[in-house]
Chain A
């Protein structure tokens, strides 16, 4: 009698927590469905036959065999999907490389050297965060034209690099600040100087910071739309988001929704892969921004 009572209440409590847990995870699954469904529906629908592309995705998966018709029809827009994917990749990778190089140097300079106007210049770089680039697109367009960089992927890349700099320089300066000065002194005694010291000795130590800077640079350059829309004027230069406007506009009043689904898939998958692989570094950057 005495032993039965506690075990009964324990059982009841266990049942109660089980019920609470089930309710919790049922809610969790419902929430995840809402956030995942648009991706899943699009990916599945993009592999339907060309004849099905116009129909609503009910069900979303291909019912008459898997086909890449949608991707083939996407290829008929602009200069072909490969060309535009390569454009997007070129811009994104060049943005990553240049952003990392420039912010690595600047972060090192701001962290380790003293020079006139140092704080003013640092604040100047960070302060550009307050200014929306949407408000300076016209002069950017004119300046790039004066430099002979209008309608060029290099010009667009330089603009993207500049947009990444406030965040990246801030990140890299903090990364260098966290490296003990003794390591550097020891390397100096061993004869490492300047760039050699930076690349051989310090770069491996600030690699997590570099990863954060690189992932943000990649995603922002890959996804950016408005600047690319304004600064690129000829068809074969378009990056993927600009190309998709032609797809979205359709031909003769009819939109090829299969091509839209395929385009969304092509633009989404690299982002998701990069994020899932480097999630840790992405979140670090987000936290750094939030704490700042």
Chain B
């Protein structure tokens, strides 16, 4: 009797030592930082968005007026439109390059790991650095792309890539593909390698062609990975700022103002902090909605393995 009693006591004592507030001490620094520099700012953003909040002088409660203003702000709507356009084009371009690359480096053979590393290199440098590098490459007089095209006889004179909307847009998309494709490639590669080789082998014996195997075997099995890569690419593109700020300063005729760029302008150039906060809440809502779609997509992927 006593034997079982002490046995029952032992785990209880152990649990008591492990439970309680001691664990909280360990996570306290992390919680303090997250609350101070993340939770509070989010709440504060919501509070500010209900005010007229200039940099200097008094703030004034104006309720939802900032949000009403947002829907009639033609420049904000065109920033939204441009960001959506950029997101679609950049994501399609990144996938169009990254998917073939992932297939290219999938099989383990000679030099493949060197190829993977080199393709991945631009991922680890900053977007600001990459933008700066490419703004030089694309410069009309001192750059590389235009003068090289001229030297090769492909153009009569060096084209001024960043002077027109289409040229600047194309340059930025190529820069982003160069910078991001390696990342998407690695994500897709993990999905490709998770496909059992017996399956592809069986499909080949059954006479399925290369395209058929890709379309009816590879793509469905990679659904979850593709969803993940897609979400990372889409959220990254929606938050684009560095490339437009550094490469085109908003672009020819201010047509390259992304949403984050517009919030930056409102908050830190015009100092309409309240309105900037309302725009931030709108951006936040868009991204949380996308995160929810992401979870839904991932779960849908699980249901159909």
Residues of A in contact with B (beta carbons under 8 Å apart): 24-25, 27-28, 31-32, 34-36, 38-39, 41-42, 53-58, 60, 101-103, 105-106, 108-110, 112-116, 118, 121, 124-125, 128, 130-132, 134-140, 142-143, 158-159, 161-162, 165, 169, 219, 222-226, 230, 241, 244-245, 248, 255, 257, 260-261, 263-264, 267-268, 271-272, 274-276, 279, 282-283, 286-287, 290-291
Chain B residues with Cβ below 8 Å from A244 are: 128-129, 132
Chain B residues with Cβ below 8 Å from A118 are: 23
Residue contact A137 to B267, C-beta cutoff 8 Å: yes
The 8 A-B pairs with the shortest beta carbon distances in the complex, nearest first, are: A113-B23, A223-B126, A109-B26, A56-B147, A106-B30, A225-B128, A139-B44, A139-B41
Residue contact B127 to A31, C-beta cutoff 8 Å: no
Residue contact A25 to B111, C-beta cutoff 8 Å: yes
Q: How far is the CB of B224 from chain A (nearest CB, A)?
A: 10
Residue contact A140 to B37, C-beta cutoff 8 Å: yes
**21 A-B pairs whose Cβ atoms sit less than 8 Å apart in the complex:** A27-B104, A31-B104, A56-B146, A56-B147, A58-B147, A105-B27, A106-B29, A109-B23, A114-B19, A132-B284, A134-B241, A134-B263, A135-B45, A135-B280, A138-B277, A138-B280, A223-B128, A255-B142, A257-B142, A271-B124, A290-B190
Chain B residues with Cβ below 8 Å from A279 are: 117
Residue contact A31 to B37, C-beta cutoff 8 Å: no
Query: Known: A142-B44, A159-B37, A290-B190. Contact between A134 and B260, CB under 8 A?
Result: yes
Chain B residues with Cβ below 8 Å from A56 are: 141-144, 146-148, 158
Residue B135 contacts which of A135, A136, A248 (CB distance < 8 angstroms)? A248
Residue A264 contacts which of B136, B147, B280 (CB distance < 8 angstroms)? B136
Residue B228 contacts which of A124, A128, A130, A290 (CB distance < 8 angstroms)? A290
Give A263 to B135 CA distance when docked, in angstroms.
13
Chain B: interface secondary structure? Answer: helix
Residue contact B42 to A136, C-beta cutoff 8 Å: yes
Residue contact B41 to A28, C-beta cutoff 8 Å: no
Chain A residues with Cβ below 8 Å from B30 are: 102-103, 105-106, 125, 165, 169
Q: How far is the CB of A186 from chain B (nearest CB, A)?
A: 15
Give A270 to B228 CA distance when docked, in angstroms.
29
Residue contact B33 to A161, C-beta cutoff 8 Å: yes
Residue contact A113 to B18, C-beta cutoff 8 Å: yes
Task: List the B residue with the shortest CB-CB distance to A118.
Answer: B23
Q: How far is the CB of A72 from chain B (nearest CB, A)?
A: 18
Give A167 to B104 CA distance when docked, in angstroms.
30
Residue contact B33 to A57, C-beta cutoff 8 Å: no
Chain A residues with Cβ below 8 Å from B24 are: 109, 115-116
Residue contact A225 to B115, C-beta cutoff 8 Å: no
Residue contact B124 to A272, C-beta cutoff 8 Å: yes
Residue B67, interface by CB 8 Å: no
Query: Known: A54-B141, A131-B287. Contact between A102 and B133, CB under 8 A?
Result: no
Write out, one digit per residue, whether chain B residues 28-70 have a CB within 8 A of any chain A CB (1) or not (0).
0111011011111110110010000000000000000000000
Give A112 to B22 CA distance when docked, in angstroms.
10
Residue B283, interface by CB 8 Å: yes
Residue B119, interface by CB 8 Å: yes
Give A58 to B292 CA distance when docked, in angstroms.
50
Chain A residues with Cβ below 8 Å from B239 are: 132, 134
Chain B residues with Cβ below 8 Å from A219 are: 124
Give A102 to B190 CA distance when docked, in angstroms.
30
Chain B residues with Cβ below 8 Å from A113 are: 18-19, 22-23, 26
Query: Known: A131-B42, A138-B267, A287-B190. Contact between A109 and B25, CB under 8 A?
Result: yes
Chain A residues with Cβ below 8 Å from B37 are: 140, 143, 158-159, 162
Residue contact A143 to B44, C-beta cutoff 8 Å: yes
Give A190 to B146 CA distance when docked, in angstroms.
70
Residue contact A115 to B45, C-beta cutoff 8 Å: no
Give A271 to B183 CA distance when docked, in angstroms.
15
Residue contact A124 to B34, C-beta cutoff 8 Å: yes
11 additional A-B pairs beyond A103-B30, A121-B27, A267-B132, beta carbons within 8 Å, are A38-B137, A39-B121, A56-B144, A106-B29, A136-B38, A219-B124, A230-B268, A244-B129, A271-B126, A286-B183, A286-B186
Residues 249-304 of B at the A interface (beta carbon under 8 Å): 260, 263-264, 267-268, 273, 276-277, 280-281, 283-284, 287-288, 291
Q: How far is the CB of A109 from chain B (nearest CB, A)?
A: 3
Residue contact B21 to A223, C-beta cutoff 8 Å: no
Query: Known: A56-B142, A223-B128, A225-B127. Contact between A260 and B136, CB under 8 A?
Result: yes
Residue B125, interface by CB 8 Å: yes
Residue contact A162 to B38, C-beta cutoff 8 Å: yes
Give A39 to B111 CA distance when docked, in angstroms.
20
Give A260 to B182 CA distance when docked, in angstroms.
25
Residue B86, interface by CB 8 Å: no
Q: How far is the CB of A32 from chain B (nearest CB, A)?
A: 5
Query: Known: A105-B26, A106-B29, A223-B129. Contact between A135 and B263, CB under 8 A?
Result: yes
Chain B residues with Cβ below 8 Å from A115 are: 19-24
Residue contact A130 to B291, C-beta cutoff 8 Å: yes
Task: List the B residue with the shortest CB-CB distance to A194.
Answer: B22
Residue B154, interface by CB 8 Å: no
Residue contact B19 to A32, C-beta cutoff 8 Å: no
Residue contact A248 to B246, C-beta cutoff 8 Å: yes
Give A58 to B149 CA distance when docked, in angstroms.
11
